[in-house]
């Protein structure tokens, strides 16, 4: 009897054990690690794969020349685990020469810290590298140093970044104790140090903040796509196409919604092309020890031989200068030497407590000597001897408070003595109000040059300074128009200003209303300009059908009045 009971008990126990084994769930959906460089497999599927890739960069195992890294899944970094950025400015140097293909996947919760107290970013210095189809979400850089950006700290070769996005709640901030002279921060790349760079179809989201934290940095430069572009390579070209910044960006020196600053000072001539880009984020500069703040919705500052082309762009963010600044700021560009702006508009307010030169589009234009140049292999001459503003308008208010040279389009248009008259202003409109301390113009506060078809609201003074500068050898003549109402049916009354004479306003309006006048310039024509015996052909506006709602992709009517397809 006891044997039978024991047998039954053992049978029951075995049955229970087997039933547990049978019904226990099998984790068939677990993702296995795939990273295996020794076998020639460069696929990242898990968090451990991702950190193995990071370790290989930080220990300088390889630069991945000609190798494509493939991200095969969305990855969320475990809480409390830091992403230690590979060192790019301290030995041993880390570089990335390959392709990082995100395959439209997302890496989330990257808390980035520096390994060299100089750089902080996802990838190290790029050299002939590509990053594509990748989203970084919820990125935190709380202790930034000299170079800080979500994707890469420095571009050094011929690099391309396409379809990459910074999204979620992100913070890029300088360490509170950092005290070096210069600091560069951005959503995509902090510093284009040398070589060509393309940034295409990229975005920085609205919950991203790029902000200073250290009170000791004397020169901070920040931008949505790129912080700083420098001149270590002759004829360097940076193309930024179809990109959007929605982040709030602030620095204590130079700030731009797309690019902070481009500098060319070593006898090189470098080029920046920004096409079809939009800034939605508020842009600001805040004084610390420096009084040289400068900010703008697209490019904060362009310097010396930097040739900048801006076409089909828009700024919708407010541009604000806090404190006292000796530098200019504007809705599109703060300061420029050689810049062509076409088919571009600003809707954000431009405000300064006290600054020198504010403009709805540009704070200050100053033309320096240059020679004609053929862009790439195209036999088209571009107006590098000229600053040009064509087919542009502003609807934002320009509020100068205690500022000097405040204009609805541009604060000050001033040419160097050897290049007097080399700025070209045509078909520009200001719909915003303009206030300032002295020298205020509803279009331009002061100008050394000829401008044509510059329009402002009736009852204002389009150009405040109506006398020719002593530097200008040719006669100052401007054709102005005043519209009675800023709507599509508004009538335009032409006016003429000649050097040393009073403005003459016609009592007879043009036969075309405001909408028709605007649209006369929105076509495929090439504007031609002859000067110094050379003919210059401006890049034409490429129409898009259907047009985008905000007017950034081409329009069938001027974007001021919306889209009619």
DSSP string, 190-256: EEE-SS-EEEES-EE-TTEEEE---S--SEEEEESSEEEE--SSTT-EEEEES-EE-SEEEESSEEE
| Short-list 435, 448, 354, 341, CA closest to 397 | 435
Which residue would you say has higher pLDDT here, 473 or 285? 285
The whole-number pLDDT of residue 420 equals: 45
Average pLDDT of the segment spanning 334-343: 86
Q: How confident is the model at residue 477 (pLDDT cuts 50, 70, 90)?
A: low
For 100, the domain range is 69-168+186-196
List pLDDT tens digits, range 206-230.
999 999 888 788 789 999 999 999 8
The whole-number pLDDT of residue 290 equals: 56
Average pLDDT of the segment spanning 555-563: 51
Q: How far apart are CA 335 and CA 255, in angstroms?
A: 12
Apex 369 CA angle, 360 and 290, nearest 5: 50
List pLDDT tens digits, range 86-133.
988 876 788 999 999 999 999 999 999 999 989 999 999 999 999 999
Q: Is residue 435 part of a domain?
A: no
The whole-number pLDDT of residue 449 equals: 64
Q: Is residue 310 part of a domain?
A: no
pLDDT at 430 over 60: yes
pLDDT at 27 over 60: no
Q: How confident is the model at residue 472 (pLDDT cuts 50, 70, 90)?
A: very low
The whole-number pLDDT of residue 266 equals: 61
Residue 470 buriedness (CB in 10 A; 0-12 / 13-18 / 19+): exposed
Average pLDDT of the segment spanning 11-25: 46
pLDDT at 547 over 60: no
DSSP bridge partners of 440:
406
The whole-number pLDDT of residue 134 equals: 98
Which residue would you say has higher pLDDT here, 472 or 340? 340
The contacts of residue 99 (CB under 8 Å, 6+ apart) are: 67, 68, 69, 129, 130, 131, 132
Q: How many domains does the chain have?
A: 1
Q: Is residue 86 part of a domain?
A: yes
Q: Is residue 115 part of a domain?
A: yes
pTM of the complete model: 0.86
The percent of residues in the chain predicted with pLDDT above 90, rounded, is 45
Q: Is residue 190 part of a domain?
A: yes
Handedness of CA 544, 545, 551, 555 (dihedral sign): positive
Q: Is residue 278 part of a domain?
A: no
Helix (H) or strand (E) holding 7: helix 2-23
The whole-number pLDDT of residue 459 equals: 83
Which residue would you say has higher pLDDT here, 81 or 441? 81
* Poorest-pLDDT segment among 50-54, 99-103, 311-315, 361-365: 311-315
List pLDDT tens digits, range 140-190.
999 999 999 999 999 998 999 999 999 999 999 999 888 888 899 999 999
* Poorest-pLDDT segment among 45-54, 80-89, 475-484: 475-484
Strands 283-286 and 248-251: parallel
Q: Is residue 437 part of a domain?
A: no
List pLDDT tens digits, range 485-540.
888 788 989 887 765 566 788 899 989 888 777 766 554 433 444 444 444 433 33
Q: Is residue 110 part of a domain?
A: yes
The whole-number pLDDT of residue 76 equals: 98
């Amino acid at each position: 009897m006891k044997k039978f009971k024991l047998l039954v008990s053992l049978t029951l126990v075995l049955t229970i054990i087997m039933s547990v084994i049978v019904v226990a769930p099998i984790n068939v959906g677990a993702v296995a690690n795939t990273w295996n460089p020794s076998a020639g497999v460069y696929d990242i599927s898990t968090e451990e794969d991702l950190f193995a890739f990071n370790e290989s960069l930080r220990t300088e195992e390889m630069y991945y020349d000609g190798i494509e890294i493939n991200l095969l899944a969305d990855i969320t970094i475990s809480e409390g685990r830091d992403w230690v950025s590979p060192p790019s400015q301290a030995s041993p140097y880390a570089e990335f020469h390959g392709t990082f293909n995100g395959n439209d996947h997302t890496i989330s919760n990257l808390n980035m810290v520096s390994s060299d107290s100089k750089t902080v970013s996802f990838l190290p210095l790029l050299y002939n590298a590509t990053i594509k189809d990748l989203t970084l979400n919820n990125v935190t850089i709380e202790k930034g140093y000299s170079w800080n950006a979500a994707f890469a700290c420095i571009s050094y070769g011929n690099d391309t970044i396409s379809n990459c996005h910074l999204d979620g709640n992100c913070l890029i901030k300088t360490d509170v104790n950092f005290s070096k002279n210069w600091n560069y921060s951005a959503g995509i790349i902090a510093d284009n140090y040398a070589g060509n760079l393309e940034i295409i179809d990229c975005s920085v989201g609205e919950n991203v903040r790029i902000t200073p934290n250290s009170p000791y940095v004397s020169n901070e430069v920040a931008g949505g796509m790129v912080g700083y572009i420098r001149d270590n390579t002759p004829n360097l070209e940076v193309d930024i196409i179809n990109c959007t910044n929605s982040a709030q960006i602030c620095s204590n020196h130079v700030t731009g919604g797309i690019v902070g600053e481009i500098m060319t000072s070593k006898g090189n001539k470098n080029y920046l092309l920004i096409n079809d880009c939009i800034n939605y984020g508020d842009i600001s500069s805040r004084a610390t020890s420096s009084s040289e703040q400068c900010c703008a919705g697209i490019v904060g500052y362009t310097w010396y031989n930097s040739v900048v082309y801006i076409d089909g762009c828009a700024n919708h963010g407010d541009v604000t200068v806090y404190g006292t600044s000796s530098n200019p700021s504007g809705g599109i560009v703060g300061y420029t030497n050689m810049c062509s702006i076409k088919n571009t508009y600003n809707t954000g307010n431009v405000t300064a407590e006290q600054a020198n030169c504010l403009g709805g589009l540009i704070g200050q234009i100053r033309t320096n000597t240059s020679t004609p140049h053929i862009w790439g292999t195209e036999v088209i001459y571009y107006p590098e001897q000229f600053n040009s503003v064509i087919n542009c308008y502003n609807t934002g208010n320009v509020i100068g408070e205690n500022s000097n040279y405040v204009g609805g389009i541009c604060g000050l248009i001033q040419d160097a003595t050897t290049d007097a008259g080399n700025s070209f202003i045509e078909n520009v409109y200001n719909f915003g109000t303009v206030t300032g301390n002295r020298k205020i113009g509803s279009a331009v506060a002061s100008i050394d040059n000829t401008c044509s078809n510059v329009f402002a609201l009736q009852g204002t003074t389009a150009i405040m300074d109506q006398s020719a500068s002593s530097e200008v050898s040719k006669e100052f003549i401007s054709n102005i128009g005043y519209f009675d109402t800023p709507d599509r049916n508004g009538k335009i009354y032409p006016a003429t200003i000649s050097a040393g004479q009073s403005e003459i306003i016609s009592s007879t309006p043009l036969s075309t209303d405001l909408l028709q006048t605007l649209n006369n310039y929105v076509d495929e024509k090439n504007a031609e300009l002859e000067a110094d015996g050379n003919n210059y052909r401006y890049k034409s506006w490429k129409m898009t059908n259907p047009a985008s709602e905000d007017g950034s992709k081409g329009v069938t009517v001027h974007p001021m009045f919306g889209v009619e397809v």
